[in-house]
Structure 1
């Protein structure tokens, strides 16, 4: 292969709306020592990417790379590479610059994909699966018999959280943003689903729990839901905030102290399994896929050249489950 031919990449031109994502071509060098060249097959899109694009998490300079996870096939290797060879299927997460057709990357940042996990499955569940792992194992350890409230339960993380919580024996109550998403959640077997567009979630949660409240709320939405959610958390329960696309809520620490509510605001970037790029956290995530605990909806697939559209659709809540970019 000619490694000097142009390769497509999406860069953030400057912080802003989705249209600041620009597709362009650049020339890749042959991989250096301890590096490989990957022809990427599936690229995961996460809400985290939006925070980098819109400037919530500013980059040191622009144009800037974007995206943190992808899977693909090794096309070339540099010197000193051991354990990997041309033709290997590999994946990575926590490595910025994933929105690209091809990529040169250090072997410390990749791991081999099991034969029975497809490129699309890997891109759909790596970061979202690790986020769910952090939330359900660290932020609040979900146990059988507990009652769990999950906002945006048909989103990428919400889908996995809901399914995993149910498998652990918890009663799952979820909220969604439309009647269509409620129908989707009900089809997945969840019977206590609340449409925030037309229903009062506080009243319905109290109805579902006979006024006893929930053991934990998982909130990846922020200001529009978090403060009301505290009213339905049991004294001694947990309030977990892991995203705030609707704005950062006002956190009433005094109230939570009085009611002994544990507030968790864990960051994936600080989670040891995310920091470890060797794929150490993946066997459990992939096992949940194999065993049918995780049943991700068919991913929304966009061309890499349509990254801006994918971001716009995700922000406007047009999508459910996972979003994947594919090079043409």
Structure 2
């Protein structure tokens, strides 16, 4: 048995229960892991609320790091005592758990467990957005919404290291200052400024090549006005609500724009894809191109409080739950 945060029915943060959850020995292709750090992400709140439906009851969470305690049959390349990290396997909010061995990676020397737990989902998201969804090029200009958030801080630093000009948005002066310290050339407070007008000003009327938007409904429409003709709108999250486009001709009127809604499952379908992204991510951390900011930590038992802080936009950088 392991203590875990269990969702028995969907709803607000109060539906999460700190209780015992059964953990068996690892089966074919699995390893058992004692978790040392767990990452908090908006997708956790979507699953908890029912926006992204899962069969209940389930253990919440999608990202973590820990130490292998047992190896199941058929597993190669992993041993008891290895430090490992993962993303995309539901059940992270637990002291101990089983994982599919082909969906985890070793944590390299020079990267601590909390950093690994903070970056696997957010950092691999930044990887596919910057290198696969639109392979950014030196000299291009991008707009990144919620630039002071966990994914935002990783991505804006990474983009800057590639020679990209980064414009960010944030919701407070404190967050504006933080984003300026993490790769953004300019940051717009979207609560006090018209960010579309300011982007046009900063780009001398041209617009940006790509908008990366994890905010969703509150920023989507104006983001289209930030793009150059044939630019790309990347909607990769919906923290403020789900986006809909009832009239596709808006894309032609605003410059024959492209829109995509990517998810990580389609960018890391096979283990080589996962290893490619993890190698690039950990390499960028070890080189200093990305400095990971863990803004807050919570005891795992207080996951509901952590969800409230995230949904109320009270967090910056990455948030970690500690078993």
Q: TM-score range by the shorter chain?
A: over 0.9
Query: Do structure 1's residue 12 and structure 2's residue 7 form an aligned pair?
Result: yes
Contact kept, 8 Å, 2:146 with 2:169, in 1: the verdict is yes
Change (3 A) 1:16 1:7: same
Q: How many residues get paired?
A: 321
**Shift of residue 144, structure 1, vs aligned partner:** 1.3
**1:30 matched residue in structure 2:** 25
Query: Do structure 1's residue 284 and structure 2's residue 296 form an aligned pair?
Result: no
Counterparts of residues 175-214 of structure 1 (less than 5 Å): 175-188=169-182, 190-214=184-208
Contact kept, 8 Å, 1:174 with 1:193, in 2: the verdict is yes
**2:216 matched residue in structure 1:** 222
Helix, strand or coil: the match of 1:218?
Answer: strand
Helix, strand or coil: the match of 1:22?
Answer: strand
**Shift of residue 276, structure 1, vs aligned partner:** 5.9
Summarize deviations over 1:159-204 as a string: whole Å, max 9, x none.
1221122112121111001111012123335341111121221221
Counterparts of residues 283-302 of structure 1 (less than 5 Å): 283-302=279-298
Helix, strand or coil: the match of 1:287?
Answer: helix
Q: 2:166 aligns with which of 145, 148, 172?
A: 172
Q: 1:163 aligns with which of 154, 157, 160?
A: 157
Cα RMSD for the two superposed structures: 2.0
User: Distance between the aligned counterparts of 2:236 and 2:162, measured in 1?
Assistant: 21
**1:236 matched residue in structure 2:** 230
Helix, strand or coil: the match of 1:234?
Answer: strand
Contact kept, 8 Å, 1:124 with 1:299, in 2: the verdict is no
Q: Which moved more, 1:134-143 or 1:287-296?
A: 134-143
Contact kept, 8 Å, 2:157 with 2:184, in 1: the verdict is no
Query: Do structure 1's residue 309 and structure 2's residue 308 form an aligned pair?
Result: no
Query: Do structure 1's residue 144 and structure 2's residue 165 form an aligned pair?
Result: no
Contact kept, 8 Å, 2:66 with 2:113, in 1: the verdict is yes
Contact kept, 8 Å, 2:29 with 2:75, in 1: the verdict is yes
User: Distance between the aligned counterparts of 1:227 and 1:293, measured in 2?
Assistant: 32
User: Distance between the aligned counterparts of 1:296 and 1:180, measured in 2?
Assistant: 18
Q: 1:264 aligns with which of 252, 260, 263?
A: 260
Helix, strand or coil: the match of 1:272?
Answer: coil
User: Distance between the aligned counterparts of 2:39 and 2:292, measured in 1?
Assistant: 13
Change (3 A) 1:250 1:57: closer
Change (3 A) 1:263 1:28: closer
Helix, strand or coil: the match of 2:169?
Answer: strand
**2:242 matched residue in structure 1:** 248
**Shift of residue 58, structure 1, vs aligned partner:** 1.1
Q: 1:95 aligns with which of 82, 86, 89?
A: 89
**1:52 matched residue in structure 2:** 47
**Unpaired runs of at least 5, structure 2:** none
Helix, strand or coil: the match of 1:281?
Answer: helix
Q: 1:71 aligns with which of 60, 65, 68?
A: 65
Summarize deviations over 1:8-59 as a string: whole Å, max 9, x none.
1111121111111111013433334543321100111111111111101111
**TM-score of the pair, normalised by structure 2:** 0.93
Contact kept, 8 Å, 2:166 with 2:183, in 1: the verdict is no
User: Distance between the aligned counterparts of 1:173 and 1:83, measured in 2?
Assistant: 42
User: Distance between the aligned counterparts of 1:158 and 1:287, measured in 2?
Assistant: 18
Helix, strand or coil: the match of 2:142?
Answer: strand
Contact kept, 8 Å, 1:145 with 1:169, in 2: the verdict is yes
Q: Which moved more, 1:68-77 or 1:247-256?
A: 247-256
**1:3 matched residue in structure 2:** none
Change (3 A) 1:77 1:147: closer
**Unpaired runs of at least 5, structure 1:** 1-5
